[in-house]
Structure 1
Amino acid sequence: MNAHIESHTSAAGKARKRKANPSVTSNGLSRTANALLVALFALLSLACIYPVLLVIAVSFTDEQSIVTYGYQIIPKQFSLFAYRYLFEDAAQIYRSYGVSIAVTLIGTVGSLLLTSLLAFPLSRRDMPYRNVLAFGVFFTMLFSGGLVPWYLIYNDAGLNNTLWALIIPHLVAPFNVIIMRTFFTNTIPVSLIESAKIDGAGEFKIFARIVMPLSLPVMATIGLFQTLAYWNDWFTSSVFISDNKLVSLQYLMYKTIYNIQYLNSGMVDANVAGSASAAIPVETVRMAMAIVGIGPIVFVYPFLQKYFVRGLTVGAVKG
């Protein structure tokens, strides 16, 4: 009750100060400082939005206009030829879209489950050998076996040309485990866990019924990290996938760009490359592929953005 009265009194005092000094805004800054901050953030927003708009504009521009006038936010000559060229093999693009979406969904959900199941025990001070296991997680951030052992392990497991080859390598990231462990340590009260134990709850029930509902911010943050990692990954496909039916969208885009560059490199017979490369809108296709590749991921971030900063900072400093 006293706290409520004090907060009400404080709010009333701030309101009186604003009335006494009209030049002070509701956030405590002067109107000049507030206007400068608004202008600064507007410029920063424009700096972020402008490149995206430029990429979109170039993808809808005629290739010859790009060569003649360069990149322009308003196309000199509108053209859909880059998208028509890109979607000549529409079935392959849709198939790769399906592969990327399936890998991203399965991988992100599996990663959140395994990461939290590892991070929660590491956050418990009563867990035996807790520090040894935590050091093992941290050690993998500094050292790895290298590319050849990494490939041999998954190859010997028979994961070549399977979706699991695209999912398993990124399931548990040490950095994500450390972030989640810090969140659990500094945010989940020990007394809450002890009270649940007194009421007869087991470890899995505590984890599922208490810890997980309280960990939405860090789950959304790690989920966004993993979604971006899975969606943008093309290297794993290049190593383990040779079946075109299982090629991810990002690797398909990479192969398309590589083929265009190869045709224009002068290493192909002029009679063959001349007819093939003459019809390829190089710059506009590159931009069209960027738009096709980032499409779905753009719609994911707004739903997770409100949890993003909180998930990184709530457990970062002990209260």
Structure 2
Amino acid sequence: MADVLNTGTTLTVAASNPKNKLGLTASLSINIFFVIYSLLCIIPLLLLVMVSFSDEASIVRGGYKFWPDHFSLAAYRFLGQDIGQILHSYGISIIVTVAGTALSMIIIALYAYPISRPNFPQAKFFTFFAFFTMLFSGGLVPWYLVYVQVLDLKDTLGALIVPQIMSAFWVLVTRTFFQTTIPGQVLESAKIDGAGELRIFFQIVMPLSLPVLATVALFQTLSYWNDWFLSLVFITGEHNISVQYLMYKLMANIQFLANNTTAANAIASAGGMMNFPSETVRMAMVIVGIGPIILAYPFFQKYFIKGLTVGAVKG
């Protein structure tokens, strides 16, 4: 009985402590802030989904609404007319994203690991070399000529993978993670036991670096999936274009027809589609484009915050 009374007294004192009250208030305020912030991120996406399932006439008449006046699948039927090309471009984007992210993680880690070791004599030079590329570039024309004339990547999947495979920023973040997280004693013990540098890297360093590798993978995945510029610059046909560039072309065509009544009338007189769902199809294209990438985040979530913060403690 005395123990219960003592426990109750302790809880009462803790609850009445001004510091505890301040901490609870701060925690509650932070939670409310992030709930509001999350809603501000989710609500536009919800509106986008609802508009994509709306009737075009109701959108023109009453504007965007969270609950459509008339549900319609016209936008998705419009996209379905070119379903073969959409699925092919989806496949291209998936291949480029998976291959590019995997290669990018390995190459970034292979560059970051040597410059993170204090016994590497040229560490400062190669660190500066990576940092220098963040400040200066050769320009668009030399960049294009290198990939087209030197590497001969025009109209290939390599043109969609190689230009983004290396990131100086993520090299520096990964290097800092290696410096602050990987114990040097573990590496020295492995060397004493006869392990070579490649074995140490792949069997010790890489498994201990999952947080930063997952963070790099997430951002590289987003970068590869959302890219449309490389398809615009390097791909001339329809065979190797990404789904984002396909959506960009379709939206540009819709915008042209919406602003050019002569061209729209000519298409209609030739038996084409006159009253296409211009507003709703734009929203449907966004849904088609972002669908798979939303599913990727949960796989990286548990490593994301730790990798981003620990890898950026000091430069």
TM-score scaled to structure 2, two decimals? 0.90
1:281 to 269, 274, 277: 277
Match of 1:223 in 2: 217
Match of 2:288 in 1: 292
- Letter aligned with residue 69 of structure 1: G
In 2, the alpha carbon distance for the partners of 1:93 and 1:160 equals 21
Q: CA deviation at 1:277?
A: 6.6
Match of 1:98 in 2: 91
Q: CA deviation at 1:267?
A: 7.4
Indicate yes or no: 2:107 matched with 1:114: yes
Q: CA deviation at 1:41?
A: 2.6
Match of 2:41 in 1: 48
Change (3 A) 1:206 1:137: same
1:193/1:206 contact within 8 Å kept? yes
Provide the aligned length of Structure 1 versus Structure 2: 305
2:258/2:264 contact within 8 Å kept? no
Structure 1 residues without counterparts, runs of 5 or longer: 1-12
Match of 1:141 in 2: 134
Q: Please give the per-residue CA displacement for 1:33-80, whole angstroms capped at 9, x wherever unaligned.
A: 554444333222211110110000000001111111111111111100
- 3-state secondary structure, aligned to 1:244: coil
1:261 to 234, 238, 255: 255
- 3-state secondary structure, aligned to 2:82: helix
Question: Which residues of 2 match residues 67-82 of structure 1 at below 5 A?
Answer: 67-82=60-75
In 1, the alpha carbon distance for the partners of 2:264 and 2:188 equals 76
For the aligned residue pairs, the C-alpha RMSD in angstroms reads 2.3
1:123/1:184 contact within 8 Å kept? yes
In 2, the alpha carbon distance for the partners of 1:33 and 1:218 equals 29
- Letter aligned with residue 118 of structure 2: R
In 2, the alpha carbon distance for the partners of 1:141 and 1:19 equals 56
TM-score scaled to structure 1, two decimals? 0.89
Structure 2 residues without counterparts, runs of 5 or longer: 1-5
- Letter aligned with residue 241 of structure 1: I
- Letter aligned with residue 57 of structure 1: M
Percent of matched pairs sharing the same residue? 54
- Letter aligned with residue 88 of structure 1: Q
Match of 1:7 in 2: none
Change (3 A) 1:73 1:230: same
Q: Please give the per-residue CA displacement for 1:18-42, whole angstroms capped at 9, x wherever unaligned.
A: 3534468xx8756555544443332
Question: Which residues of 2 match residues 198-217 of structure 1 at below 5 A?
Answer: 198-217=192-211
Change (3 A) 1:18 1:264: same
- Letter aligned with residue 169 of structure 1: P
